[in-house]
Structure 1
Amino acid sequence: MTAPAVHESLLESSVFPMAPIGSIVVERNEKVGETDFPALSVGKRGVTPQLAGVAKTQTEGDRKLVRAGDLVINSRSDRRGASGLARQDGSVSLVYSVMTPKPELMVAEYGHHLLRSTAFQDEFFRWGAGIVDDLWSTNFTRMSRIRVPLPPLDVQRDIAARLDEVDAMISKLDELTKALRQRATDTAALFGLSDGYVSHREDAHSPLAGIPDHWQRTKFGYDFFESTERNGENPQGPLLSISEYRGVELNTRTNGQQASLDVSNYRVVRPNQLAANMMWLNHGGLGVSSLTGYISPDYKAFWISPRFYSRYVHHLFRSPRYVDYFGTIGTGVRPNAQRVTKTALDMMPVPLPPMDEQSRIANYLDEVTGNIDHMLAKVARLRDLLVERSSTFLVDVVTGRKEVA
């Protein structure tokens, strides 16, 4: 009988001691009220002050305390890479694991880069558990068993210093990305407004506020019809993802969880259907597809009424007014996980211009956003290359293949 293959982590080192995370950090599990400490965001940029537009928990006390110098990581696999070192006191959702490095064993800045390395993210995912791909998580108990390399403290500091330089370059790219996205947002903010046709019939907070008087008004449930088509035994195309920046696209991830082995229950998306991640609408997690494929069973797909031009719909629901509106109708106790229910979506007001105006709006925004998307793609590729080289450098040093220069 053949023995089962033994998993070997990319972080396994023969030159430095290995230790389980639980032995080099102390978990911080103190609950605080949401008004006691400033809210923090944890994402690909590390731990930062709460990002604008991110919904906050509605339950007093449902927060975890974070102190400056703590390491924080999101336990959910679909927030891959959302981790880092806190530079200030604050609070985060209970979905995060918060830990304080033991200073005699780990330099906090080294821990920051270690948690954010691709090799660690792969291990973090491998130790997780769950029933569907979007709810796969690795709690602190499981994570505490992951073995990581512990070079001498001076080597840890040298590694961190080198990778801090790379992070500074990545931050500049992020600033450029933000500026490009703001340009796209400024363009989209002009969506549907015509001088001389401004309506005063709507509440200022309604997504219909300021639309031309000659446009009709409808509700989502009247013109968008949920598709219940599933893969079954024969997948209709490749796995698709819903990008908050580009909408529906091919899932090109080569690491982490991509899809369950059994994709029969995954939802089929057809060209000109609207696909939506109902827990990420307030971040632009929806778009009209140009592809046939399948998406997570927790997402939804909708047929669009012939009264609407599909590309107009794509830009409309991804415009700032609707992204903000989704934040007001979402429900949930976790920031970054505000679900919009089908009932709430059906009641959502939608502007319905004449078809020729829909076409002109969509064509204009396709051209403008297409140029910006091309620039964003170039920046993203450069950023990914820096992140990849940063992660490779850390692994090469801790495994003895390279020395810190």
Structure 2
Amino acid sequence: MREPRLTPLKFIGEIVSGGTPKSHPENWGGPVPFVTPPDLNGVDGGVVSNWERSLTESGMAGSAAVCNAVLLSCRAPIGHVGVVTDLVAFNQGCKAIVPERPEDLRYLGHVLVAYREALQAAGRGTTFLELSTTELAAFQIPWPAPDMRERIADYLNRETGEINAMIAKLDELTKTLRDRLVGEAHRVLAPWFAKDIQPIWSVMRPIKDQNHPTEEVLSVYRDYGVIPKASRDDNHNRTPENLTTYQLVEPGDVVINKMKAWQGSLGVSAYRGIVSPDYQVARPDSGVNSRYLHSVLRSRFMIPQYKVRSTGVRPSQWRLYWAEFADLHIPMPTANEQKRIADHLDEITGRTDQMLAKVTDLKTLLLKRRAALITDVVTGQKDIA
């Protein structure tokens, strides 16, 4: 078993901190990719190929740009890793490591993935953990001779490539299952959208200025993009510093993320909790089936309308306020029909969720296998041929 030689990152390459330009329109929408920590999520040392925003030449003055570098998210959270070979800009949530030899990008990406937990342990902070430039520069990783680095990179690219191919097939299966579920909801709801529809404000009311407890018993609602229903994040059970800005939510209330409704981030709550001012809360009238309402609000018929009705200069600033949301129209069949539709879609959803759970378990095993393989190789626990 070989003992890897540890070298601080400051001796391996230049470390560059990122930044975010001002929100002036002339800074955004140009040809230069602007990478943030969420864009690195799941890349796991591979090449970064997707990003939400981009910068113009003027916008680059307020950021940082690199090429032939490894990007590492250093806060919220620490440890996402991606390789870039073309010019990209990145925000303050990331740092770039630019090695002296571009040939080392593959190896460096793999080794940082292997040392993710150690990088997270090196983070400091009270509000959230952050890895400073000084701490990152002093962080030591295995750094064998150049020929060995290339051999390790070749081996890991080959072995992880096979695992990645299996993961990609599972991702395709997941998408297929979800598309079928959305398609079934569309099929069931289509005849009703072709009939009489009525404005949302006629079947629900906005909830504002509610009294709510001040003791720490309520969950703060969170969402992570497209969610199946409004739910709570049990990892964030806490009392916010300023409860007066929060709204009380009861089971059955409609919870709308003002900033992400156009992506489908809204649903009917299954919990009692509180939400920040970033959310709109509405309460359906008596006799409205919340399960039916959930299916309608997240159907293919509605989400494009949220996008059209949201206001803002660019997607990252879009908001959907009550006035625009309330004027949208939805079908409201009889209570019996609402229940029948909801029961049918719940049955289909239940079967689909069971299949998705099995796919997720298998993907988790593959991800663990990939992570263990990378760790064993770069730390010298596994010899390569």
Render the CA deviation track for 1:198-250: whole Å, top value 9, x for unaligned: xxxxxxxxxxxxx23423223389534257565632414x6765452432446
Counterpart pick for 1:325 among 296, 305, 315? 305
What is the one-letter code of the residue matched to 2:164? D
Aligned equivalents of 1:279, 1:118: Cα separation in 2 = 34
When residues 325 and 262 of structure 1 are mapped into structure 2, their CA distance, relative to the original with a 3 A threshold, is same
Counterpart pick for 2:349 among 369, 375, 384? 369
What is the one-letter code of the residue matched to 2:168? S
Aligned equivalents of 1:298, 1:143: Cα separation in 2 = 34
When residues 25 and 370 of structure 1 are mapped into structure 2, their CA distance, relative to the original with a 3 A threshold, is farther
Aligned to 1:11: none
Aligned to 2:123: 126
When the two structures are superposed, what TM-score results if normalisation uses the length of structure 1?
0.68
Aligned to 1:247: 229
Render the CA deviation track for 1:228-273: whole Å, top value 9, x for unaligned: 565632414x676545243244647xxxxx3376557476543222
Larger Rg: 2
Render the CA deviation track for 1:117-163: whole Å, top value 9, x for unaligned: 68349618934675xxxxx5858747744725133252541344433
Aligned to 2:24: none
Bigger mean CA offset, 184-193 vs 93-102? 93-102
User: Counterparts of 1:121-270 in structure 2 under 5 Å?
Assistant: 123=120, 126-127=123-124, 138=130, 141=133, 144-145=136-137, 147-152=139-144, 153=146, 154-155=148-149, 156-157=152-153, 158-190=155-187, 192-194=189-191, 211-219=193-201, 223-226=205-208, 228=210, 232-236=214-218, 241-242=222-223, 244-249=226-231, 251=233, 258-259=235-236, 262=239, 265=243, 269-270=249-250
- Do the aligned partners of 1:248 and 1:288 also contact (CA within 8 Å) in 2? yes
Counterpart pick for 1:353 among 326, 332, 346? 332
- Do the aligned partners of 2:249 and 2:271 also contact (CA within 8 Å) in 1? yes
Counterpart pick for 2:13 among 12, 15, 24? 24
Render the CA deviation track for 1:15-48: whole Å, top value 9, x for unaligned: 4314246953453869886243578882544366
Aligned equivalents of 2:281, 2:258: Cα separation in 1 = 10
- Do the aligned partners of 1:38 and 1:49 also contact (CA within 8 Å) in 2? no
* Between structures 1 and 2, the one with greater helix share: 2
Cα distance, 1:370 vs structure 2: 2.3
Cα distance, 1:371 vs structure 2: 1.8
Secondary structure, in 3 states, of the residue corresponding to 1:42? helix
Aligned equivalents of 2:188, 2:10: Cα separation in 1 = 50
Aligned equivalents of 1:298, 1:225: Cα separation in 2 = 14
When residues 311 and 352 of structure 1 are mapped into structure 2, their CA distance, relative to the original with a 3 A threshold, is same
Q: Percent identity?
A: 24
Q: Give 5+ residue unaligned stretches, structure 2.
A: 22-26
Counterpart pick for 1:342 among 303, 321, 336? 321
Aligned to 2:371: 391
When residues 222 and 120 of structure 1 are mapped into structure 2, their CA distance, relative to the original with a 3 A threshold, is same
Q: Give 5+ residue unaligned stretches, structure 1.
A: 1-13, 131-135, 198-210, 253-257
Aligned equivalents of 1:58, 1:191: Cα separation in 2 = 42
Aligned to 2:284: 304
Aligned equivalents of 1:140, 1:331: Cα separation in 2 = 36
- Do the aligned partners of 1:127 and 1:142 also contact (CA within 8 Å) in 2? no
Residues matched between the structures, number: 360
- Do the aligned partners of 2:67 and 2:88 also contact (CA within 8 Å) in 1? no
Counterpart pick for 2:29 among 25, 34, 43? 34
Higher relative contact order (CA 8 A, sep 6+): 1
Secondary structure, in 3 states, of the residue corresponding to 2:271? coil
What is the one-letter code of the residue matched to 2:321? K
When residues 118 and 289 of structure 1 are mapped into structure 2, their CA distance, relative to the original with a 3 A threshold, is farther
Aligned equivalents of 1:312, 1:146: Cα separation in 2 = 56
Aligned equivalents of 1:142, 1:247: Cα separation in 2 = 42
